[in-house]
Structure 1
Amino acid sequence: MSFLSGLKNLFSGSESPSQTVEESIDYNGFVITPAPISEGGQFRVAATISKGEGEDQKTHQFIRSDLVPGRDQCIELTVRKAKITVDQLGDRLFG
C-alpha cells in the first residue's frame, strides 16, 4: 500500500485488519490513540489526538512519514511523537 493509498483509506473510513486501533493514552488533557498503518511490511506512525467530549470534542489525525519495522516499536514512537506535538502545539493542533 502506498502512502497516498493509506491516507485515502484512513480518511474514507475503510480500515484493514493491520490498522486496528490501540488502547488510548491520556496526556495533559488530550487523548492519544495510536493507529499504526501497515505499509510494505513496515508500520507508519499514525494516531488520533483528541480533546474534549461530546459536541465539544476536537480531533486531529496525526500521520507522519516515519516507517518502523515492528508494530510495538511503531506504537512507542507514535506515542512519543504525539506527546511532543501536544507539548509544542497544545490546542493550536486543532486549527
Structure 2
Amino acid sequence: MGWFSRLFGSSEAPKQAVVEPIEYKGYLIYAEPIAEGGQYRIAGRITLGEGGSTKTHRFIRSDLLGNEGDANELMIKKAQMLIDQMGETIFNH
C-alpha cells in the first residue's frame, strides 16, 4: 500500500525534522531554512531561558542559497551577529 498512499497522499502529517540548537553566549540558535524554488531561504529562531520563561525571536531573511547546509551556516552567523549587536533587546521586537 506504500505506493498507493504516495500516489494519492497520506493522511499522516509530515514529520518535522528535529533541529539541534547551537549554544552561543547563553542563547540557543535554531537554524530552520525554508525550501523555496529549489533554494533555501535563511530562517530560524533564537531562544533564551527555559520552560515557561523562554523568550523566542524568529526571523526570516531575504537571502537565498543553493543548499541547506550553506543556509544553516549563514543563519547561525547572522544570528550570532544579531546577538552580539542587540543582546536581549532582540526579544523586544
TM-score (structure 1 length as normaliser): 0.77
Q: Please say if 1:59 is aligned against 2:60.
A: no
Asked if residue 42 in structure 1 is aligned to residue 39 in structure 2, the reply is yes
Residues 1:87 and 2:84 are matched in the alignment: yes
Aligned length: 80
Letter in 1 for 2:74: L
The equivalent of 1:78 in structure 2 is 75
Q: 54-63 or 32-41, which moves further after superposition?
A: 54-63
Which structure has the larger Rg? 2
For residues 70 and 61 of structure 1, the distance between their equivalents in structure 2, rounded to whole angstroms, comes to 21
**Which amino acid in 2 is paired with 1:36?**
P
Letter in structure 2 aligned against 1:76: E
User: Percent sequence identity over matched residues?
Assistant: 45
C-alpha distance in structure 2 between counterparts of 1:93 and 1:60, whole Å: 7
CA RMSD of aligned residues (A): 1.8
**When you count helix as a share of all residues, which structure comes out higher?**
1
Cα deviation, 1:8-38, whole Å, max 9, x if unaligned, reads xxxxxxx966x74531000001000100000
CA distance in 2, matches of 1:47, 1:16: 19
Q: CA 1:42/1:22 → structure 2, altered by over 3 Å: closer, same or farther?
A: same
1:17-36 mapped onto 2 (5 Å cutoff): 20-36=17-33
With normalisation by structure 2, the TM-score equals: 0.79
Q: Structure 2: where are the runs of 5+ without partners?
A: 1-12
